[in-house]
Structure formats: C-alpha cells, structure tokens
Amino acid sequence: MPVPTDGNMPDQMHDMSTGESASGGFFVDSVVRMSGNKLVILSLLVLALLIVSAIFAPWLAPYDPTEQVLADSLQGPGRKHLLGTDEMGRDILSRIIYGARISLSVGFVSQLIACSIGVLLGSLAGYYGGLADTVVSRAIEIFAAFPELLFAIGIMFVLGPGVINVFIALGLLSWTQYARLVRGQVMQLREMEYTQACIVCGGSNARIIVRHLLPNCMSTIIVLVTLGIPGAILTEASLSYIGLGVQPPTASWGQMISTAQQYISFYPYYSITPGVAIIITVLAFNIFGDGLRDALDPRLRD
Amino acid sequence: MKKIGSGAVSVILAAALLFGAVRSDAAEKQVLRYGAINMRSTLDMQFNTYPWVMDISDHVAEPLMMFDYTMKLIPVLVKSLPTPTDDGRVYRFELKPGIKFHDGTTLKASDVKFSFERMFIPENGAINSYIADMIVGAKDMLAGKATELAGFKIIDDLNFEITLENPYAPFLASIGTSYGTIYPEKACREAGKDWGLTTYFGTGPYKITKFDADNGFYVERFEDYHGTKPKLDAIDFIFVEDPNTRRMEYESGNLDVIQLDATLYPEYSKSRLSSEIGSYTPQGTIFVSPNLQDERLGNVKVREAISLAVDRKVLVSDLMNDTVSLATTFIPPSMLGFDGTVPAYERDVERAKQLMAEAGYGDGFEVDGYIRSEQMNGTPGRTLLAIQSQLREIGISINIVQVDAASWSDIRRSGKIPLYIGTWYTDFPDPDGFINSYLYSSNARTLSNNYNSPEFDKLLDDARSTSDSAKREDLYKKADRLASRVDFAVVPLFHENMFYLCKPYVKDLHKSPDNTFHFFDAYIER
C-alpha cells in the first residue's frame, strides 16, 4: 500500500479507526439497541416535548410571561389561568413554558462551552503528554478542587448576574469532567496500532486527534453531555434561587421557586409547579443519559 | 454488681435533678427571641442607617435623650431636656450622676464630647454627621481645618454646653436619634476600627454577651443600668436571612417576634395567625430614586416622564392591597412640612412619551435598577418589578441587579447606583431628619441620588436656622415641592404601613411609629 504523500489516510484505515462496522455503523447499532428501552424512549419523548415547547413558546404560552395584571395576583388554577397566577398577576403556565427556554438553553450552551474547553485540553494533554499533560492535569485538579455551587457563585459574583454569565460560569465549572475523561481515552488510543500506523503513514498530529482519536471518544462525550445538562439546569435553578442567575422579569424555574416559597403556606401550587418542571426535565435527561450510555457501551452489546 | 447498679441509678438521678434544675432555671429566664436581619454592618451607629442595626444598638448604647414609644422625647443620660438660651443657640446639659458603661467606667462629659467629635473627623468617614453639624466648629472639623469641636464646652464631669451656629429647633430631637449614641472614649479609642465590629457597648439596659456577627447577638440585662430595669432577662437577636424561613421559625415557635412584609399581610390576616399581627405607620416614603449624575436620568424631562408613567393607584390598590397610602409629596403626612393641598400625581403615558422624545430618548433606554437581594421578594422588590413593567410603556427598560447588603452599602455610598426603590424613614419626627438627610446635596451624594440644587439646599439651610415653626413649615413645603414636583429628584410612590408578628405571650411590646423595635417594656407571660 503506497503511503499517501498529502497526509490523507486510505479509506479502509479510516473506517477501521472510527469503529464503523459493515452492518450499518456503531451509532446506528446503538440507536437500534436504545429503541428497545421503553423508559429511554419515554424520556426522549418528554425531552422532545420540552424542546418543542421551548422553541415554540410564543405560540404555545397563553399569555406574555412578563405581563402583569396586579389585580389578578395569586389566583388559583382555573379556566382563565390553568396553573394560576403569581404575586405579580402573571400567568404561571406561560412562565413555566418560557422558563423551559432558559433551563434548556443553559443546559445545552453551558455543556457546549464545557465540552469545547474540556475536549480540546483533554485531547492535547492525552496526546502530547509531558508538559502539556502536567499543565492541563494541574488545571483540572485546581478547578475540580472547589465545591461546584460555591465556585459557580464565586464566578457569578465576579461576572455579575445574567443568563450569558450563567452560561460562562457553568461552562467553566464542568469542563474538567470532559478534559479528564478525554485525556484518559486519548492516552489509551494513542498507543493503539491504527494510531501508530497513521503516524507511520505521515498523518499530522491534528489529523490524528481530530479524525482518529476524538471519534473514538465520541460515545463518552455524548453521554457526558447528556448527563451534564441536568446538573447545569439544577445549578442554574440554584443560582437563580439565590438571585445570581437569570434576573426578573425573565422567567426561570429556580427564580419562580425562590419567589413562590414565601407563599408556600397559602398557595402551594405556585411552588410545586416549577419544582415539578425541574424534576421532570432533570429526570428525563438522566434516564436518557443512562440509556445512551448503555447503548453506546460496546461491552454491553448483545 | 447490684451495688454498681444502684450507684449508677443514683448518679443518673442526681444528674437528672441537676439538669432539671438548670432547665427549670432556663425556663424561668425571660428571653425574647427576635428574628433579625443581618445587614453585615458595623453596630456603630455613626456608620450605618439601618433600622435593623438600630434594633440591636439601641438596647446596648444610648444617646443623651431619645423618643419613647409615643414619640415623646425623654431625657436618658441627661437629668432633663435643656432649654436653649434666648437666642436659641446655646444648650446646657447636665448628665445624671453615676451612669455606668458596661465596662464599669462612669459616663463623663468628655465621653459625650468624644462621641460628637468622632463623627466630624474626616478620616473616620461617619455618614450621619448631619445630625449635629450645626454645632459651632463641626464644619471646620469636617473640612479638616480643626481637630476640636469649638462649640462643645466641658464645664465639669457632668456639665457641658453646646453652641450652635444658628438656632435649630429640632436640635435635641436630632441628637436624640441612634446616630447620637454616646460611646465610652477610652474603650472606643482602644478598639479603633474594630469598634462596632468586634467590640460594642454603651450605657444601655442590655449588654452584649454573645457577639456573633454571622449568627446574631445575645444581650443580657445590665444590672447596673441607670434607668428603669427592663423586665426581660435577655434578648436573642437571631439572624435569619430568608424572610420565609423567619416566618416558618416563628410559626414553629422558635422566634417570638418577627417583621412581616406588607405584601404578605392579606394572606396572614386571613390565617390563624391573624390575632398575632401588629402594625404601625412609620413616617416614611417609598419612592423611585433616580441618580441625577446618570446622563439620561439627569434630564428632568426623563424624571418627569417616569413620574407620569408610574401608575400609583395600581401600586396602592393591587400591588400593596390598600395597606399603604398614596404619596403626593416626599414628606409623609403627619410630619411638619407635609402639604395636604398638593393634588395627587397625575398619570399620563402619552405626555410621558412626549417628554421622553423631547429629552432625546424617544426610543427609550436601558438602565440598571439595583436592589438588595433580601428585599427582592418584599415590598421594594415587588415595587421595582411593577415599576419595571410600567416604565416599559415609555421605553425605559430596567435591568434588575440584585446585590448583597454589604455590597449595597458600598455601591450606594460611591454614588454609582443609577436607579433604585428608595425606602426612607425619619429618625425623628421633623422634616430635617427626613428630607435633609436624603436630599441635601452632601447627603444625596452618599445615597446615589446626587440631587444638587443650590435653591433647595438654601431652603433647607433657611429652615434650619429659624425657630419660627410656621416659617419652617412653609420653607419645608417649598423645598419638598421643588424636589418632588419640579425637579423630580425623587418620584414618590406611597407611604407604608408596617406589620409584625408577635406571640401572644409577649406582653407590653410597645411599637412606636419609628422603624425600630425597642423591647424596653416587654416581658413574657406564658
């Protein structure tokens, strides 16, 4: 087999290194396996419903979530307001639907930031080793040494409240998990024969990492993202609860619980509804993440 | 074995008796548990304006005279309230003999002089010096031109004389506030900057026996107190940050007295706790405080537009459930200078939009509205949310910024808060303690309002220097109209009624209309 001079690998080698099989591919197999788990499918449906309602909130919400009708404050559930109204006379259902936007976007965007930082640093540390590994590993240890919520509070104090800053704070908070796992996997994969073959064939370092090592870490990364999202949602709710997250009048589930708690003795439904929304979302992501991990784990194949 | 067994039984019985005795002693002790808020502030009243801190400080340290619960000024450290000389400028005071500070030292005129001078030393940075800066020499000290208060003359250990620049009718009331608290010179000097932070005492009926700035203060009766001994053995000021937790602690019997936010009054008035609700009407006003140094808010047309866009009637009836009264001026009703003839503020959104356009902000603008985090779910927070919604109609978008109490004090003092909901209550029933302390240029600067009108300041200066009550009233009316109706330096909204919950076994809790809780007469009868 001639060694390609432009650094590109032959197709056969590429297929082998990315783990695709002749029967339709690793990911297709995983999806088929996952479809047999009813609980995972249910959680996927719940998540799809949440995402759809977040995207189409302006059409689905019966009222403007910030519209105040003070004369109608603290109304119980009824025909006009299905889940009642809050202390400012705003429709609770509309605020929960719009709150899904915040929770989901915080979940996805923060994990995207964390994933980008973690995968980049983890792969560099794992592949190059030496000084790069030492620097990244120490950084991981330093960042991971802080208690999560306290660290998030500290970052929010520095950056100030607001949804963009929540993205950044949560991104900075959780990149270490990605970096640690990717570093470990890349270190293992670097010693694999196909990686050595690629090096011998003249593949550039960047190409080896991007085309051959990272695709093999993809299942781990996907599972981490899926399980990281509910954590981020809960942390956002905690930050908003203590007034450091999303600022009023933007609807956020954590903030709704914070406000509702003073009425818990008189209007329990007000606290319960955003709480239930958080529980359902976090549970759905966790079940889906677990199912995904099982489906993508080659050791659990039939 | 048997012997050992009976011995053990004897020990247990003895222990039970001993602990029983201790418990019984504890049960007999009259301890009132008050759910307080931690303002993360010094207890030193020359450096804060928080009623929550006054609640603690007033039980521990005293001014020369103070207001009782009927708002009558009574002598405390002095034998009687002095009458000024005919020109209204000189007051001669005589201290009661033998008054002890909590460290056992005796109060002398030099302690009083020290306490006054301390508030005028520029490096100290006292924020309440306005209560006494009419004393001869005070302004020189504040300007760093003098190191001694020329208008304070010690005659002997018990007698001293204070000379004012001009007659100032409410002088005794002014120095009878918590800000005029008298401190022991020696101890205060020794403590330096730690005074109020780790050490704090005075001549008050209670002394601090647990100084825990994070969790609360425990004060016990001072047996050598010079006045009528209080009935309570101790007061436990327990810091409970979260208002909801405070209420739950009250309901589960762990607190005896707590404040209840007016926004929750309708719910509680319908609950089983309705008979435990008390109320009082502080002399104060809730208002929008724009920062006049902000480029946009510095424009009077913008401030008038804000006033026109605010729907005060909705705030009173729907937001506050008619527990408050509509504000027509900054000075509250029942205070000298309140002008009852001034009509209600009108609401005219179209005119407000026109003013915004004339000011060059037809497309509106964004502005940060600051609030202390712990106020977000209370009256100020809900008012800010309502104002945020109402001002959107004229294009003003308020970004709410929540900050903790310590940061709040620092940022506000630096004059950098663009807009906030002001909650201002008088410390003594005179407009000078209300309108002057907020809007006089030197005070407005430290409160992030930055109103600086020579005309307004002159009206207040003139009002200060006359003892003719009718003339003073007229001057304060003019000043108020100028600030709240012409310059719109503040946008008054409503005057509050305040509520608290008090267990039925707490007797004689006389709540005065001022905004502090004094438990001097209270006792527990279960």
Which stretches of B359-468 are DSSP H helices? 379-391, 405-413, 435-439, 441-446, 454-464
Assess if residue A75 is contained within a domain.
no
In angstroms, the CA A261 to CA B389 distance is 23
Assess if residue A10 is contained within a domain.
no
Q: Specify the pLDDT at position A69.
A: 93
Domain of residue A183: give its range.
Answer: 40-59+80-300
Assess if residue A169 is contained within a domain.
yes
Predicted confidence band of residue B299 (pLDDT cuts 50, 70, 90): very high
Is the bond preceding A249 in cis, omega lying within 30 degrees of 0?
Answer: yes
Contact B365, B397 (CB under 8 A): yes
Whether residue A261 and residue B244 make contact (CB cut-off 8 A), yes or no, is: yes
Whether residue A258 and residue B386 make contact (CB cut-off 8 A), yes or no, is: no
Task: Tell whether B469 lies on the interface with A, counting CB pairs under 8 A.
Answer: no
CA distance B146 to chain A (A): 42
Residue B13 above 80 pLDDT? no
Render pLDDT for B425-457 as a digit per residue (tens, 0 to 9): 888 888 988 999 899 998 999 899 999 999 999
Render pLDDT for B322-364 as a digit per residue (tens, 0 to 9): 999 999 999 999 899 999 999 999 999 999 999 999 999 999 9
CA distance A58 to chain B (A): 19
Whether residue A243 and residue B267 make contact (CB cut-off 8 A), yes or no, is: no
Q: Specify the pLDDT at position B71.
A: 85
Task: Give the residue-averaged pLDDT of A2-18.
Answer: 41
Residue matched to tokens 């504890």: B26
Task: Give the residue-averaged pLDDT of B309-330.
Answer: 95
In angstroms, the CA B48 to CA B282 distance is 19
Render pLDDT for A73-90 as a digit per residue (tens, 0 to 9): 999 999 999 999 999 999
Locate B173 and state its tokens. Answer: 């009331």
Whether residue A249 and residue B401 make contact (CB cut-off 8 A), yes or no, is: no
Q: How many domains does chain A have?
A: 1
Domains assigned to chain B: 12-60+204-280+502-524 (3.40.190.10), 65-185 (3.90.76.10), 284-495 (3.10.105.10)
Q: Specify the pLDDT at position A36.
A: 81
Residue B57 above 90 pLDDT? yes
Q: Specify the pLDDT at position B21.
A: 45
Residue A10 above 50 pLDDT? no
Render pLDDT for B236-266 as a digit per residue (tens, 0 to 9): 999 998 778 888 899 999 999 999 988 888 8
Q: Specify the pLDDT at position A301.
A: 54
> Looking at beta carbons, which residues of chain A come within 8 Å of B314?
70-71
Mean pLDDT estimate for chain B? 91
Give strand pairing partners of B106. B100
Question: Which of B245, B261, B263, B385 has the most A C-beta neighbours within 10 Å, making it the best mutation to test the interface with A?
Answer: B385
**CATH at residue A195:** 1.10.3720.10
Q: Specify the pLDDT at position A24.
A: 57
What percentage of chain A exceeds 90 in pLDDT?
45
Angle at B35 (CA atoms; ends B29, B36), nearest 5 degrees: 120
Going by C-beta distance under 8 Å and a sequence separation of 6 or more, which residues neighbour residue B30?
B231, B232, B233, B234, B523, B524
Q: Specify the pLDDT at position B228.
A: 93
Task: Give the residue-averaged pLDDT of A232-256.
Answer: 87
Question: Which of A164, A265, A266 has the most B C-beta neighbours within 10 Å, making it the best mutation to test the interface with B?
Answer: A265
Assess if residue A93 is contained within a domain.
yes
CA distance B373 to chain A (A): 6
Question: Which of A64, A67, A68 has the most B C-beta neighbours within 10 Å, making it the best mutation to test the interface with B?
Answer: A68
Which residue from B minimizes the CA distance to A256?
A: B377
> Looking at beta carbons, which residues of chain A come within 8 Å of B318?
70-71, 73, 89
Assess if residue A150 is contained within a domain.
yes
Task: Strands of B50-144 (E only): list them.
Answer: 65-67, 73-75, 90-94
**Phi, psi for residue B333 in degrees, rounded to 5:** -60, 160
Residue A51 above 50 pLDDT? yes
> Looking at beta carbons, which residues of chain B come within 8 Å of A243?
373, 376, 402
In angstroms, the CA B458 to CA B454 distance is 6
Q: Specify the pLDDT at position B261.
A: 85
In angstroms, the CA B443 to CA B435 distance is 10
Task: Give the residue-averaged pLDDT of B164-186.
Answer: 93
Contact B349, B394 (CB under 8 A): yes
Residue B521 above 80 pLDDT? yes
3-state class (DSSP) for residue B217 = strand
CA distance B187 to chain A (A): 37
Looking at per-residue pLDDT, the higher value among A263 and A99 belongs to A99
Reported as half-sphere exposure (CB side, CA atoms, 13 A), residue B418 has a value of: 16
Assess if residue A183 is contained within a domain.
yes
Predicted confidence band of residue B187 (pLDDT cuts 50, 70, 90): very high
Whether residue B267 and residue A68 make contact (CB cut-off 8 A), yes or no, is: no
Whether residue A70 and residue B243 make contact (CB cut-off 8 A), yes or no, is: no
Whether residue B399 and residue A70 make contact (CB cut-off 8 A), yes or no, is: no
Task: Tell whether B243 lies on the interface with A, counting CB pairs under 8 A.
Answer: yes
3-state class (DSSP) for residue A187 = helix
CA distance A68 to chain B (A): 7
Query: What one-letter code names the amino acid at A91?
Result: D
Render pLDDT for A151-210 as a digit per residue (tens, 0 to 9): 888 888 888 778 888 899 999 888 999 999 999 999 999 888 888 888 888 888 888 888
Task: Give the residue-averaged pLDDT of B116-129.
Answer: 92
Assess if residue A8 is contained within a domain.
no
Q: Residue B362 to residues A180, B45, B304, B352, B353: CA-CA distances in angstroms?
A: 53, 45, 14, 10, 7
Residue matched to tokens 């010094």: B42
Whole-structure pTM value: 0.80
CA distance B301 to chain A (A): 26
Assess if residue A64 is contained within a domain.
no
Task: Give the residue-averaged pLDDT of B400-419.
Answer: 88
